[in-house]
Amino acid sequence: MLYAAYLHVQATPNWRGSKASWFAIASYTAFILNFFGVNMWIPGLHSYAGV
């Protein structure tokens, strides 16, 4: 979802350059935290913990 927002941010003239780069870094960080957080640290039906 954040990468879709990033594409829209790139189309906005006021958000190009450094702001867009930080948004991309934040999006990637959120992706990694969600991937590992949901799959490894939170036990449940959609988890791959213990594999």
User: Alpha-carbon distance 31 to 24, whole Å?
Assistant: 11
Provide the mean pLDDT of the chain. Answer: 79
**Average confidence (pLDDT) over 9-33:** 86
Q: Among 2-11, 18-27, 42-51, where is mean pLDDT lowest?
A: 42-51
CB 35 within 8 A of CB 43: no
pLDDT exceeds 80 at position 25:
yes
Q: What is the value of pTM for the model shown?
A: 0.64
Please give the structure tokens belonging to residue 29. Answer: 């960080």
First-to-last C-alpha distance (Å) of the chain: 27
Tens-place pLDDT, residues 29-51: 988 888 887 777 766 665 555 55
